[in-house]
Structure 1
Amino acid sequence: MKKVTTLIAVVALSFISSFSVMAQEDLSKKLLPMDPKVKTGILPNGLKYYIMKNAEPKNRAQLRLMVKAGSILENDEQQGLAHFMEHMNFNGTKNFPKNELVNFLQKSGVRFGADLNAYTGFDETVYMLPVPTDSIEVFKKGMQILEDWAHNATLEASEIDKERGVVLEESRTGKGAQARMRDKFFPIILKNSQYAKRLPIGKDDILKNFKYDVLKQFHQDFYRPNLEAVAVVGDVDVAMVEKMIIEKFSGIQNPINEKPRTKYRIELSGGTDVAIITDPEQPNTIVQIMHKQEKRKDVTYQDRRDGMVRSLFNQMLSARIQELTQKADPPFQFGYAGYGGFLGNLDAFNSVVVAKGGNVEKGLKAILEEVARAKKFGFTASELQRAKTQYMVGQEQAFKEKDKTDSEGLIEGLVGAFLEDENLTSTEFSYEFTKQYLERVKLEEVNALGNLLITDDNRAVILMAPEKDKATLPTEAQIREWLNGTGKDVTAYVDQTVDKPLIAKLPTGSKVIATKQIPEVGLTEFTFANGVKAVLKPTDFKNDEILIGGYSFGGTNLYGDKDADNARVASTVASLGGLGEFSTVNLRKMMTGKVARISPYITGTSENITGSSSPKDFETALQMLYSYFTQPRFDADVVKGFLANQRDNLISQQKTLTPEKVYGDSLNAILSNHAPRNAPMTSERMDKIDANRAFQIYKERFADASDFTFFFVGNFKNEEIKPLLEKYLGALPSTKRKETYKDLGIRSPKGKIEKTVYKGTEPKARVTLVWAGDFDGTTESETQVEALSEVLEIKLTETLREEESGVYGVGVSGSTAKIPAKRYTFRIAFGCAPENVEKLVNRTLAEIQKVKEKGAEQTDIDKFKAETKRQTETQLRDNGFWVNYLQSQYQEGDDVKYILKEEEALKKVTVESTKTAAKKYFADNQIKVILLPEKK
């Protein structure tokens, strides 16, 4: 279900083989403890279970079935069948025949795909099921589903044949340049191991033609209790759940003659492998260097300490590489280096660059030199102290939220613990461990990591580039020469900082002159003497979180076509410069240890602020907010480098037009009726951007805060933060200008529009159908649009996927907007085989016509209502939902109490209302844009 891809450039996980053990204790002998809040057990048949009570969100539980069986265990006839088996567990089990499993869960408010899901990897298959716990019957059914997944798949021949098309369509979605290049370099970097031969998606010819017994054999061999585990985390009675697990899973038998669960390896044979690969649809040049090493576990205290030291190393190296992009002429478009997990039994130190202008030598040497600098000279004491401070802050945040941690995050930790044969330590343990050992980490041991992590053995270099650049690419010999010769002349890094306050002279501000309460939703409105408004909603949803939003009407639409592109990049230009006397680099260093983030941005119709902070650092966040109004900083070199990189990226896109870009640009052009303002950016237009003018536009947009409304949601008390709000919000510049947004009149065309784009070589098609028009703007109509969108997605998933076996997924989105004009849009999109486009479009239109004639089916309406109610229950206890909801309601002039009236609104969604809505919204204005492969 969930598509799984193998990422070559990976973020850091844990490893080092540290050599510095505290003299008074042997940490390698001390095992990391399982979180005591987790109830664990092993049934006589070998099945493991993990149960943990966690109250966030309330009345919810996360359920997982984990199977230590993935594509790596397939024989030659079974390639792709581990993943196919995952699909079949949703298409009929002993207690939920055919599609009844999905049907039951949707009626219970669990969304297919968004909530109910699964994935298959090389070594594992994991099934994910969130369920409500305020209904014991639904929860019991959820546990029954886990048991059925564990061993009760029916694997009916007719259902297998129906699912072939769905899995083939999932396979089709992954085809393209990246897959073609991966197939060429995987055997090289994976040393022709089993991992190189067993991609989870499998082979199309096998998926089309495998015999039923071949799939059944895989299920019989590997869906067995001694390879499985069950995890339950949520608002549950642990004793009750344990009893249910024992009752339901103890009777499952292992096969009499078990097939061995082979553990495959990727061998380390030394040396350096180089793969130079090109593709006609690859738009840019990417180089990756992998230093492969044996995987390290997180089992002992020493493992945990080693991982912490390695994390500090990664953090400091990442900061240095980030600084390279803050130059007038950055050496690459993007760069990364760090140590982390890779695949199977391996970890790797990865260095990745996206070459600028296709200049492989410049980009590769730049990242090699930075890595060599760290390896040769190490890091400075000040860098290490910042890294330690930041690391500790992350642990402190987790500790403060220990009773407000979402169950989904906790259960994913348990999934990892089972699959890696490790323990999930508690938040309390991790926090105390960090307090005990972090400050003992010496600079010398961090600096020694370079020689341990970055070696000349077991290297692999992958160069992926556009086919058109093949003749100018470096040879394998040149790459080897750069690898071995670069970095010899590097000098030590100099850590420069600014030791000043962010604001030289703190403002005095102005008082709150008006207060308004909206008790139904727990809101307080403050109006300050300078005209600024603040909307406050204190919550107890998180212990260490305050979210911030803000808007005023205006935006880029107020500027003519000559300034349109300057206005488009205005907030980016300002953000790149830093604040006051602090460059972006120095601002980041100064903010070490502070949990505060503020970002300005400008849309077509408004100026906006978004951000967050901890309660402790709330004043720092307000200082940043104040500074973005009063002392934005222009950094000519950084902006020059940014614009140059953007231009180079656009040139790459224009030279190698991928099917996705051509299709997306064509669709957007039609939807905006070819309005020049909505045309995609080009390198020629990027050349004409005036950075100084862009910065001036930013200052114009943020010159007056008197029409700004700010929103604060999180853990605070109104009276405690009021003085800070008066000090900073009350001091924001106020010219009291009267300003609103401008409607440029850009609308999608009327009538029926059809366009077919021919691009790409793979046999894959994309279909997008759009209906748009004027909208009455009522909240009741908004609910009807939402309902119609959801019931259509349910129905089209049922027909196009389950009945026609023609798509992997279909997306239906119904949206409304009031600014700059009252409009609605319905968009239906799916991918499919080129030969099936007409059939599937006709089936889609036929389903819409049924709703127009008869209304939606009551069962689908009931599913929509159940899903909406369940979703709202969790949203009402989420800070992120509230800050976005409040800003939207205020901005569009809607009642903030509407969320409390949702149940009343849902009652008005009926078979007849969906019929009326379908007739109204699926009228004559229809746009159809199709992507097909190039004609041969």
Structure 2
Amino acid sequence: MKKTLVSLCLALLAFTYNTFAQPLASQKVPLDPAVKTGKLKNGITYYIRKNNEPKNRAELRLAVKAGSVLENNAQQGLAHFMEHMNFNGTTNFPKNELVNFLQKTGVRFGADLNAYTGFDETVYMLPIPTDSAGLLEKGIQVLEDWAHGALLDSAEVEKERGVVLEESRMGRGAQQRMRDRYLKVILNNSRYAERLPIGKDSILKAFKPATLKSFYHDWYRPDLMAVIAVGDFDVTKVEQIIKDKFSSITPPVNPKKRVKYDIPLDGSTRIAIVTDPEYPQNVIQLIYKQPGKKEKTLQDVRSNFALEFYNAMMGQRMQELTQKADPPFLYGGSQYGEFLGDLDSYTSIALAKDTPGMKTALTALLEENARVQKFGFTQPELDRAKKDFLNSIEQFYKEKDKMRSANHVQEYLNHFLHDKPYMGAEAYYLFVKKHLDEVKLAEVNGLAKQYITDKNRAVIVMGPEKNKQELPTEAEIKSLLKTAGKDVTAYVDDALDTPLLATEPKAGKIVSEKPLAKLGVTELVLSNGVRVLLKPTEYKNDEILIKATAKGGYSLYPDERETGIFSSYLVQMGGVGPYSQTQLQKFLAGKTVGGGPFISELSEGVAGNTSPKDLETTMQLIYAIFTEPRKDEQVAKGILTNQKSYLENLQKTLTPEKVFSDSLNAILTSYNPSRAPLTPESIDKVSLDRAMQMYQDRFADASDFVFTIVGAFKPEQIKPLIEKYIASLPSTDRDDTFKHPNIFPPKGRIEKTIYKGLEPKSRVSLISSGEYEYSPENNIQIEALQEVVQIKLIEALREEESGVYGVSVSEGTEKYPSGHYRLNIGFGCAPENVDKLVKRTEEEIRKIKQNGADPKDIEKFVAETRRKLETAEKTNSFWLDYLDDNTFLGDDLDEIFREEELLKSITVESTKAAAKKYFNDDNFIKVVLMPEKK
């Protein structure tokens, strides 16, 4: 430990000295000395770091610099297929034993254990417990197997074809059809346009296993691989395990050249106008492509500060545009970032209100870009951007010892795959503090001329096919590119700097205090009736989470549902006190003050996050949310105008997904009008005045609110702020509750088939529901049933039938107004396989009803639940939600301490009883989406 600390100090000392002694442009970016790196003789790179968050866990990765861009014509889709096959049999884990073994350790397939294939890389992800003997070594063994031990058994390849083809099927639709048409345009007919990772169905159906083996042999080789291990372990031991496992991998004698493909820049402006009969939106995108910027020297790191500020200030301006009475688009944004193939891009995008509004949206984007080119940003804008940036870096620095291993892993992946340096939190913080003030306004303003040029541009216009004639033509787009923005005027900054509260609150008192010692919680009762639950923690150094909830919501206004739904949002976007919402964001620059009010159907409240240094400002904001809401008619008009336009677009072009979800929702809610989807006519019913009245009514009485505060604070230090800003909130001591609408799925058996969609794909939803006795004992049983059914259906429908890519099994329970439950099974598949897969699903459920769950599946559920809770309960967000939810529902706050007892109650017989009870054949809904009949 001492040696590591001394090494770190010397490295930081050298870094500081070099910064003073040499020009930044001549200094390479120093890498974080806390990371143990090396390269084996065969070429494999490794990164190892000890990190204790979360405890008793490690994050393992195998990164391969091989993706779809390396495929030959006969291999299109096989880089991704290879990723799948590494889960279907390796030297030490034949067939599906890998997934089976890991699930028993508490690692969830998909949620934890996963992988992805990109154009240039494939990455395998494995979180593993480190508190059981041999598990970490076995996890590294898994990585070694992935690296060179895939069996690629012909029978397993044949089974996996169906799974990958179903993944391809689920990706089909309007977006995919349009993407296939514009991709070659924006990628300049490069290799990237021809090698989408999913590949071609014709090849996936017919390739020979030898073709897959050829890809594996050519590209899964030591010089293209990195092993990354970060977690709660001994670094020296892990390094030795990696050397023992991976050193034996033999590099190929005559390796294929790893070609680095690029996207040629020819200086042209390329325009793609694409439409589709199932696309409901109107989107326009401008892409200004440029050679990628690499952070090789400290000067590059320093130059990127200006980029960060540019993006932040541009984002603020775009947001302000959407808050006008007549916004030019539903959404708009401009940002510089990475593109593809070692290119960067400055991208401007807008979601237009309708097809005729495309020109307005494009003009607005061009004008905002031109405004920055012509007049630049203002000094106050830059000052605020610097404050926000420094605040975020300070938080990063303060949390350096609490950073989760997965965050570190991503840094080392980026270093190996994309040559991005990792300085470490402390070195970067010191560098920012030293060089931040060097960035002047002229430097940031100069970026606009670099980013926005008439060279290497691409414009993509996407819209509904039936409105094709109303879309801007290529000639009109070129004309706008030349002329838009010539008459723009300078940006006017409307920032305010006045106290957030007009008058100081008159402090109340804490009238009682009760320790809940087992939970580490202190319960306060205030003079105005408010209850406060305080849970100080050490999970984060610079995080405090706050939530206040009361019963009521817009259920108390059953005939004004539309206004109720929008009430809190309209008021929040109006700002508080003297500040509009945009002015408020500017006022809070450099502070960690997040959150706002909410009014849901059954409750109202405030949710927020802050840091210890900004806690008082956050408390002031909460007080203002209760007492000084601000009505802004212009902002509200803009929000409602945009929302109506959005819904009109959805109505004009109904996608298969929307028709299916709306139909399913209608059935599940017994066609109750109060659960119908919003329509343009719904927006016409929304009244800002009435929204303000509802809001003021819901927040007029704080006495029934329960505040939950979790995080980095000491109770004695926070109590004066609670008395000043929470105990002073208005109180009428009324007896409030919600009016539950009593809307549940209908009883009986209902089956419905919906015919919508051009692609040969289907969606299936199978729902069982009924009355339910809400209790911890029953809750754990239905949770276990959900998980064992999901495990079994993945095995049956994916691994055995090869008929789906994924299966979702979800459960939901309600306590109020009376107990109700719902179990929902959903999957996508080929239309011709619907009946077969539904039948197989019913067979698997029938088996559990007759025999109970497989003991191995129960073991997996218990392990997964235990492991998930172990990490979750070391986070502030878990405790905030747990305390708030249990208080709202009136559940025992000590319920969490019964987890082990409840898990022991899961048996073969209990799952058998639960399956019989909850998979109720009398209350069953089956809804299927099929393609349109031709």
CA contact under 8 A between 2:538 and 2:711: conserved in structure 1?
yes
Aligned match for 1:623, one of 591, 606, 620 = 620
CA contact under 8 A between 1:598 and 1:621: conserved in structure 2?
no
CA contact under 8 A between 2:305 and 2:439: conserved in structure 1?
no
Task: Count how many residue pairs are aligned between Structure 1 and Structure 2.
Answer: 914
Counterparts of 1:421 and 1:413, CA distance in 2: 10
Aligned match for 1:571, one of 568, 571, 593 = 568
Aligned match for 2:520, one of 506, 522, 529 = 522
Q: Any idea what the Cα deviations from partners look like across 1:314-348, whole Å, max 9, x if unmatched?
A: 11111111111111000000000011001112110
For residue 19 of structure 1, what is the aligned residue in structure 2?
A: none
**Quick check: 1:608 aligned with 2:595?**
no
For residue 743 of structure 1, what is the aligned residue in structure 2?
A: 740
**Quick check: 1:236 aligned with 2:253?**
no
Aligned match for 1:344, one of 341, 344, 347 = 341
Counterparts of 1:80 and 1:321, CA distance in 2: 39
RMSD: 1.0
CA contact under 8 A between 1:741 and 1:820: conserved in structure 2?
no
For residue 836 of structure 1, what is the aligned residue in structure 2?
A: 833
CA contact under 8 A between 2:505 and 2:724: conserved in structure 1?
yes
Aligned match for 2:538, one of 515, 537, 540 = 540
CA contact under 8 A between 1:119 and 1:125: conserved in structure 2?
yes
Cα pair distance change 1:459/1:23, threshold 3 Å: farther
Counterparts of 2:761 and 2:354, CA distance in 1: 30
For residue 378 of structure 1, what is the aligned residue in structure 2?
A: 376
For residue 783 of structure 1, what is the aligned residue in structure 2?
A: 780
Deviation at 1:210, TM superposition (A): 0.2
Aligned match for 2:404, one of 403, 406, 411 = 406
Counterparts of 2:682 and 2:519, CA distance in 1: 47
Secondary structure of 2:492's aligned partner: coil
CA contact under 8 A between 1:605 and 1:820: conserved in structure 2?
no
For residue 299 of structure 1, what is the aligned residue in structure 2?
A: 296
Structure 1 runs not aligned, ≥5 long: 1-21
Residue pairs, 1:199-214, within 5 angstroms:
199-214=196-211
Deviation at 1:122, TM superposition (A): 0.1
Counterparts of 2:794 and 2:577, CA distance in 1: 53
For residue 421 of structure 1, what is the aligned residue in structure 2?
A: 419
Aligned match for 1:473, one of 433, 455, 471 = 471
1:641 partner letter: G
Counterparts of 1:826 and 1:356, CA distance in 2: 38
The TM-score normalised by the length of structure 2 is 0.97
For residue 306 of structure 2, what is the aligned residue in structure 1?
A: 309
**Quick check: 1:31 aligned with 2:28?**
yes
**Quick check: 1:448 aligned with 2:439?**
no
Counterparts of 2:427 and 2:173, CA distance in 1: 46
Counterparts of 2:908 and 2:618, CA distance in 1: 49
Aligned match for 1:47, one of 44, 47, 63 = 44
**Quick check: 1:902 aligned with 2:899?**
yes
Counterparts of 1:535 and 1:342, CA distance in 2: 47
687-696 or 625-634, which deviates more: 687-696
Counterparts of 1:616 and 1:117, CA distance in 2: 39
Secondary structure of 1:730's aligned partner: coil
Secondary structure of 1:647's aligned partner: helix
**Quick check: 1:165 aligned with 2:156?**
no
Deviation at 1:423, TM superposition (A): 2.5
Deviation at 1:509, TM superposition (A): 2.1
1:932 partner letter: M
Counterparts of 1:62 and 1:309, CA distance in 2: 33
**Quick check: 1:109 aligned with 2:95?**
no
For residue 587 of structure 1, what is the aligned residue in structure 2?
A: 584
Q: Any idea what the Cα deviations from partners look like across 1:92-134, whole Å, max 9, x if unmatched?
A: 0000000000000000010000000000000000000000011
262-271 or 302-311, which deviates more: 302-311
CA contact under 8 A between 2:54 and 2:404: conserved in structure 1?
yes
CA contact under 8 A between 1:542 and 1:714: conserved in structure 2?
yes
Deviation at 1:23, TM superposition (A): 12
Deviation at 1:24, TM superposition (A): 8.3
For residue 432 of structure 1, what is the aligned residue in structure 2?
A: 430
For residue 804 of structure 2, what is the aligned residue in structure 1?
A: 807
Q: Any idea what the Cα deviations from partners look like across 1:505-556, whole Å, max 9, x if unmatched?
A: 1112211111111111101100001000100110000000011112111111
Q: Which runs of 4+ in 1 moved over 3 A?
A: 22-25
The TM-score normalised by the length of structure 1 is 0.97
Secondary structure of 1:516's aligned partner: strand
For residue 88 of structure 2, what is the aligned residue in structure 1?
A: 91
For residue 4 of structure 1, what is the aligned residue in structure 2?
A: none
For residue 15 of structure 2, what is the aligned residue in structure 1?
A: none
Counterparts of 2:230 and 2:724, CA distance in 1: 44
218-227 or 251-260, which deviates more: 251-260
For residue 679 of structure 1, what is the aligned residue in structure 2?
A: 676
Counterparts of 2:573 and 2:805, CA distance in 1: 41
CA contact under 8 A between 1:596 and 1:611: conserved in structure 2?
yes
Deviation at 1:624, TM superposition (A): 1.0
CA contact under 8 A between 1:109 and 1:863: conserved in structure 2?
yes
CA contact under 8 A between 1:605 and 1:819: conserved in structure 2?
no
Deviation at 1:25, TM superposition (A): 4.7
Aligned match for 1:119, one of 96, 116, 121 = 116
Secondary structure of 2:185's aligned partner: helix
Deviation at 1:820, TM superposition (A): 3.3
**Quick check: 1:714 aligned with 2:697?**
no
Deviation at 1:26, TM superposition (A): 2.8
Deviation at 1:264, TM superposition (A): 0.4
Deviation at 1:566, TM superposition (A): 0.9
1:554 partner letter: G
Aligned match for 1:186, one of 183, 188, 194 = 183
Q: Any idea what the Cα deviations from partners look like across 1:804-847, whole Å, max 9, x if unmatched?
A: 00110001111211133321111111110111111111111111
**Quick check: 1:155 aligned with 2:152?**
yes
For residue 13 of structure 1, what is the aligned residue in structure 2?
A: none
Residue pairs, 1:589-668, within 5 angstroms:
589-668=586-665
For residue 17 of structure 1, what is the aligned residue in structure 2?
A: none
Deviation at 1:447, TM superposition (A): 0.8
**Quick check: 1:689 aligned with 2:679?**
no
CA contact under 8 A between 2:810 and 2:825: conserved in structure 1?
yes
Q: Identity of paired residues, percent?
A: 56
Q: Any idea what the Cα deviations from partners look like across 1:611-658, whole Å, max 9, x if unmatched?
A: 110011111111111111100111000000000000000000000001
CA contact under 8 A between 1:598 and 1:624: conserved in structure 2?
no
Counterparts of 2:843 and 2:696, CA distance in 1: 53
Counterparts of 2:133 and 2:220, CA distance in 1: 27
Aligned match for 2:817, one of 817, 820, 824 = 820
Counterparts of 1:525 and 1:142, CA distance in 2: 44
For residue 456 of structure 2, what is the aligned residue in structure 1?
A: 458
Residue pairs, 1:878-893, within 5 angstroms:
878-893=875-890
Secondary structure of 2:738's aligned partner: coil
**Quick check: 1:556 aligned with 2:554?**
yes
Deviation at 1:494, TM superposition (A): 1.7
Counterparts of 2:206 and 2:255, CA distance in 1: 27
CA contact under 8 A between 1:810 and 1:828: conserved in structure 2?
yes
Counterparts of 1:806 and 1:691, CA distance in 2: 50
Secondary structure of 1:531's aligned partner: coil
Structure 2 runs not aligned, ≥5 long: 1-18
CA contact under 8 A between 1:792 and 1:812: conserved in structure 2?
yes
Secondary structure of 2:437's aligned partner: coil
CA contact under 8 A between 1:598 and 1:625: conserved in structure 2?
no
1:873 partner letter: E
Deviation at 1:861, TM superposition (A): 0.2
Q: Any idea what the Cα deviations from partners look like across 1:397-453, whole Å, max 9, x if unmatched?
A: 000000000000110111111101233110011101111111111111111111111
1:448 partner letter: G
206-215 or 508-517, which deviates more: 508-517
CA contact under 8 A between 1:626 and 1:729: conserved in structure 2?
yes
Counterparts of 1:154 and 1:23, CA distance in 2: 55
Counterparts of 2:848 and 2:124, CA distance in 1: 34
Secondary structure of 2:764's aligned partner: strand
Counterparts of 1:684 and 1:901, CA distance in 2: 49
2:522 partner letter: T
CA contact under 8 A between 1:231 and 1:414: conserved in structure 2?
yes
